[in-house]
Structure 1
């Protein structure tokens, strides 16, 4: 049987999702395992983790060879365990006897630099790397309102809205589902805060986009795209995420809610509905192809699309390790399809020669 392994940074991560995949593995003639990268023994190349028993539908602790097909669901932070696991996963990606469902994407800056030279460039917000407070203050004088985003990050963590008033500066972020707001009375105090922020990590700067609805809730469209059992890209579903009134994020981890895409679309004028449908079709038809031309093979993408008040459509984020909550809440009938998808695609790629999917290695760990 094909051995199918799911990697996470802790054994409590995404338990419901992983359990559902494991229950379907036997029907796909696969054995399912889950483990943490740091539990691989570098000498024996055995890994301590859990194997799913199809007969009694339970997980059993054990030690086993590294599975031949790997589904990477590791979400890295700044902690020591993340730093320990990153080179291990890099090593796994180099091995010719192991195939990943998807090899991930690079950081947001590398992604932007690739897409800005493609047919999708009109959908990209102007983006620049900032390495010191002076660059941020210069852009603030030009734009008045900006967004700062970590170059390597996900789920909306570490995103800041900065606005220049007459003499003061307003900074806003969201943490633990709460809006945190602060006023800096002068440029010197803002400069000091920016300096402490940018010492910790690299940031991107983008103009603030008017992406709120009539209730002043930030919102975006989440699209889930995956490869099917034949290796073809398909759009599984779309949903609209709405954030907290007055907030800057629509992420569900920040307290956002979800509505059906069709319901949201129904409130728009017919011409605008057709325009948005056509634009989203163009983006989803081109994005996966463009990414796989530049990077290693992928399995799934979560694409976040912003619709501005002036009608402009923006690609806000592209994530190679998307969640499923938006789609499951708006299209619960897709549950089994989404749980089977990694297994069916894993079965498909197990039949292909390694050289067809992976000819060289690139560092693609952070999304």
Structure 2
């Protein structure tokens, strides 16, 4: 039976999803293990983790050999534990006897630089690395509203909206599902806040896009793409994420809600709806190919698309470790398919040659 290892930074991370997946493992001819990268013994190469017992449908503590195929669900932060696990995962990706379902994507800046010369360039918000606060001040002095976004961020954490009003500056963010707004009366006060932020973390500057609905709620379209049991990319579905009124994020972690794509698309004029459908189909048909032309193979992609008030369409984020809340809510009939997909793709990998998957692995750790 094929052994599949599921890695996360904590054994209780995504517990529901991983356990539901493991419940389908026996019928797919797969045995599931889960572990934290730091629990690998560097001398014996044995892992202290959990093995799924298909008879009792429970996880049991066990020590086992590193499975030959790994599903990486580690979400790295700036904490010490993340920094400890990163080089371990890098080492695993470099081993010829171990293969990953997907090798991940690089940070937001590298991803932007890679796609900005492709046919999807018109859909990418212009992004610049903030090396000095002068760049931010220049944009604000020109009357531009801007977004500051962490290069290595995820789930909407650390994103700021900034605009200048007369001589004062308005900064807005969302934390713990609350909108936090602050006014800096002078440029020097703004710089006292800004400079330590960009010194500690790498940040991108992007133009602020009007991506809210008629109720002044930010919204976007989440599309999930996965490879099927034959290694062919398929769209699983799409849904609408809606944020708080007056907010800047539609992320579910920031308190967003979900609406079906079909309900939303039928509520807008037919000509506009047909145009949006056509554009979305074009983006998702091109994106997997363009990514795998430049990076090692992937298994799944969550794509977030914004529709601006002027009708323009934007790729807001591309995530190689997407969640499934939007699809489970909008397409509950896909539940079994979503839980089986990693197992069936692992079987496909076990039966094919994956040496080509090793190229450029090191660039893809940040996500």
**1:206 and 2:180 are equivalent in the alignment:** no
Task: Give the structure 2 partner of residue 173 of structure 1.
Answer: 173
Task: Give the structure 1 partner of residue 105 of structure 2.
Answer: 105
Structure 2's unaligned 5+ residue stretches are none
Task: Give the structure 1 partner of residue 78 of structure 2.
Answer: 78
Task: Could you list the structure 1 runs, at least 4 aligned residues long, displaced by more than 4 angstroms after superposition.
Answer: none
Distance, in Å, in 2 between the alignment partners of 1:213 and 1:324 is 23
- Asked if structure 1 preserves the Cα contact closer than 8 Å seen for 2:94 and 2:358, the reply is no
* TM-score normalised per structure 1: 0.99
Task: Give the structure 2 partner of residue 21 of structure 1.
Answer: 21
Task: Give the structure 2 partner of residue 4 of structure 1.
Answer: 4
Q: 1:125 to 1:360 in 2, by over 3 A?
A: closer
Distance, in Å, in 2 between the alignment partners of 1:232 and 1:258 is 28
What do you get for the CA RMSD once the two structures are aligned?
0.8
**1:279 and 2:269 are equivalent in the alignment:** no
Task: Give the structure 1 partner of residue 124 of structure 2.
Answer: 124
Task: Give the structure 2 partner of residue 335 of structure 1.
Answer: 335
User: Which moves more between the two structures, 127-136 or 88-97?
Assistant: 127-136
Distance, in Å, in 1 between the alignment partners of 2:274 and 2:280 is 10
* TM-score normalised per structure 2: 0.99
Spell out, residue by residue over 1:223-254, the C-alpha distance to the aligned partner (whole angstroms, 9 max, x if none): 00000000000000100000000000000000
Distance, in Å, in 2 between the alignment partners of 1:286 and 1:159 is 28
Task: Give the structure 1 partner of residue 39 of structure 2.
Answer: 39
Distance, in Å, in 2 between the alignment partners of 1:366 and 1:6 is 18
Task: Give the structure 2 partner of residue 250 of structure 1.
Answer: 250
- Asked if structure 1 preserves the Cα contact closer than 8 Å seen for 2:39 and 2:47, the reply is yes
Deviation at 1:360? 4.6
- Asked if structure 2 preserves the Cα contact closer than 8 Å seen for 1:146 and 1:163, the reply is yes
Q: Secondary structure at the match of 2:335?
A: helix
Distance, in Å, in 2 between the alignment partners of 1:174 and 1:53 is 41
Distance, in Å, in 2 between the alignment partners of 1:104 and 1:21 is 20
- Asked if structure 2 preserves the Cα contact closer than 8 Å seen for 1:239 and 1:261, the reply is yes
- Counterparts of 1:205-224 in structure 2, within 5 Å, are 205-224=205-224
Spell out, residue by residue over 1:22-41, the C-alpha distance to the aligned partner (whole angstroms, 9 max, x if none): 11111111110000000000
Q: Secondary structure at the match of 2:364?
A: coil
Structure 1's unaligned 5+ residue stretches are none
Deviation at 1:144? 2.4
- Asked if structure 2 preserves the Cα contact closer than 8 Å seen for 1:170 and 1:182, the reply is yes
